[in-house]
């Protein structure tokens, strides 16, 4: 199977989420965990933005030796020089240069013509290349850019030395089939495209970050940029755990592997949540508290008989010990009996029927039926027989 590179930008775009600021030590702790997780590239930060971010990128470059360590830079000499200053001690450094390519950004945000953007992209990639071989280029807002202009821009930066071309859906506007076509168009219309790896970077404003990334993979992207728990600017980025587990669980469809040690996913997710202070929604795919919990009687019955009836991933694959059956008003006799056994009760038929009825009455009134509730109600039923 061919490999999809995982480019983690939790420490750069993830940290851009309002309220998610991390200090250098916290960033280093996450970077060490990302190394254990097996990501190919860590985007450690945007060194020009603050002395603290510069120090964090430098520290990670010095300490984390297996993955590529990447720093972000606008297509501005001072940014590129600063990024290199932070990265130069890395075992595998990468400079990531970006400039907007959509009409709306060029006219209203950076106030530059197409020719100026083309020239800056070429010369700044060449400047970055004078420092190191591994250069990534991103045309910001690519998914809203004129494809013909995009093709020419990409061709020019490859000639200037870019080795990875990252196609961002900066504002999360793309639809999967459309984004897949964009990647296909790039493969077909950029003459020197085989000299570079195509990457994608999808935001989640319409909830399609993961779907767009996977559509891109189907159409030739070989690097996916993502963040743990999907944190990032506004609604966030494609979630690493979703992209990786979709590629793995549906390898029959994608036929790709990643280098991710999936058993480290849960631990990584919790660390990012703890250090950013961003809670994970209970129904979050793969890492949410409810992702492997079953409440309805029909589902619980199925899982007791065979886990795969209602579980497409083994929780152990992502580092969660086991799935669980949550007792509530929808639970059936089967699940209740199993739970009683786990709590050490072995009731005869008649006691069980009474306990089950008492449990159903309680579950109608109470959202969470705890083990203590169950112990109390069984004790009460046994006492009154």
Least Å distance, CB 43 to ligand KIV, is 9
Instruction: State phi, psi for 58 to the nearest 5 degrees.
Output: -60, -45
CB of 166 to ligand KIV, least distance (A): 6
Q: Is residue 230 near ligand KIV by the rule CB under 6 A?
A: no
Q: Given candidates 101, 132, 164, 170, which one binds ligand KIV under the rule CB under 6 A?
A: 170
Q: Does 13 bind Zn ion (CB under 5 A)?
A: yes
Nearest Cα to Cα of residue 114 among 125, 128, 100, 124: 100
* Residues 192-221, interacting with ligand KIV (CB under 6 A): 201, 203
DSSP assignment of 278-318: -PPPTT-TTTSTTTTEE-SHHHHHHHHH-GGGT-SS-GGGG
Integer Cα distance of 153 and 58 in angstroms: 31
Among 10, 102, 132, 138, binds ligand KIV (CB under 6 A): 138
User: Does residue number 168 form part of the binding site for ligand KIV (CB under 6 A)?
Assistant: yes
One DSSP character per residue, 149-182 reads HHHHHHHHHHHHT-SEEEEEETTS---HHHHHHH
- The answer to whether 201 is a known ligand-binding residue is yes
User: Closest distance between ligand KIV and the C-beta of residue 172, in Å?
Assistant: 9
- Which of 71, 180 has the CB closer to ligand KIV? 71
301 interacts with Zn ion by CB under 5 A: no
Q: Which is nearer to ligand KIV, 8 or 13 (CB)?
A: 13
**Sign of the torsion angle spanned by Cα atoms 78, 82, 87, 89:** positive
Question: What, of ligand KIV, Zn ion, none, does residue 138 touch, CB below 5 to 8 Å by kind?
Answer: ligand KIV
Strands 197-202, 164-169: pairing kind: parallel
Of 214, 216, 232, 229, give the one whose Cα is nearest residue 184.
216
192 is in an annotated binding site: no
Contact between 27 and ligand KIV by CB under 6 A: the answer reads no
Residue 371: CB minimum distance to ligand KIV, A? 46
Interacting span for Zn ion (CB under 5 A) from 12-20, 28-36, 61-69, 314-322: 12-20
**Which residues are CB-contacts of 92 (< 8 A; sequence separation ≥ 6)?**
67, 68, 69, 134
CA distances from 114 to 131, 157, 372 (A): 26, 14, 68
Q: Is 13 annotated as a binding residue?
A: yes
Instruction: Report CA-CA distances (Å) from 82 to 50, 88, 96, 300.
Output: 11, 10, 12, 56
Binder to ligand KIV among 13, 15, 264, 301 (CB under 6 A)?
Answer: 13
Task: Give the binding-site size for ligand KIV (rule: CB under 6 A).
Answer: 9
What are the residues binding ligand KIV (CB under 6 A)? Answer: 13, 98, 138, 140, 166, 168, 170, 201, 203
């Amino acid at each position: 199977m061919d490999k999809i590179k995982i480019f983690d930008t939790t420490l750069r775009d993830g940290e851009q989420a309002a309220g998610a600021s991390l200090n250098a030590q916290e960033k280093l702790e996450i970077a060490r965990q990302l190394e254990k997780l097996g990501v190919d590239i860590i985007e450690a930060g945007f060194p020009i933005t603050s002395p603290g971010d510069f120090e964090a990128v430098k520290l990670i470059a010095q300490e984390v030796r297996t993955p590529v360590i990447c720093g972000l830079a606008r297509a501005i000499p001072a940014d590129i020089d600063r990024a290199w200053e932070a990265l130069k001690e890395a075992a595998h450094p990468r400079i990531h240069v970006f400039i907007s390519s959509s009409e709306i950004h060029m006219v209203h945000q950076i106030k530059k013509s197409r020719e100026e953007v083309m020239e800056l992209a070429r010369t700044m990639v060449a400047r970055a290349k004078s420092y190191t071989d591994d250069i990534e280029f991103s045309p910001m807002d690519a998914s809203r850019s004129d494809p013909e202009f995009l093709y020419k821009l990409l061709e020019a930066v490859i000639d200037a030395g870019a080795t990875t071309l990252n196609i961002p859906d900066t504002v999360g506007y793309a639809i999967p089939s459309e984004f897949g076509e964009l990647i296909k168009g790039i493969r077909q219309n950029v003459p020197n495209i085989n000299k570079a790896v195509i990457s994608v970077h999808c935001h989640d404003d319409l909830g399609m970050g993961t779907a767009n990334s996977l559509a891109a993979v189907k159409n030739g992207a070989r690097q996916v940029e993502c963040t743990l728990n999907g944190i990032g600017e506004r609604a966030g980025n494609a979630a690493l755990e979703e992209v990786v587990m979709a590629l793995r669980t549906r390898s029959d469809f994608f036929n790709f592997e990643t280098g991710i040690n999936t058993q480290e996913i849960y631990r990584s997710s919790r660390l990012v949540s703890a250090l950013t202070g961003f809670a994970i929604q209970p129904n979050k795919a793969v890492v949410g508290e409810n992702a492997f919990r079953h409440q309805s009687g029909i589902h619980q019955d199925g899982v007791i008989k065979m886990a795969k009836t209602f579980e497409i991933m083994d929780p152990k694959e992502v580092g969660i010990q086991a799935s669980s059956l949550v007792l509530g008003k929808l639970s059936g006799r089967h699940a209740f009996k199993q739970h009683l056994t786990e709590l050490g009760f072995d009731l005869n038929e008649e006691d069980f029927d009474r306990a089950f009825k008492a449990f159903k009455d309680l579950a109608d009134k109470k959202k969470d039926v705890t083990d203590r509730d169950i112990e109390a109600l069984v004790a009460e039923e046994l006492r009154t027989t």
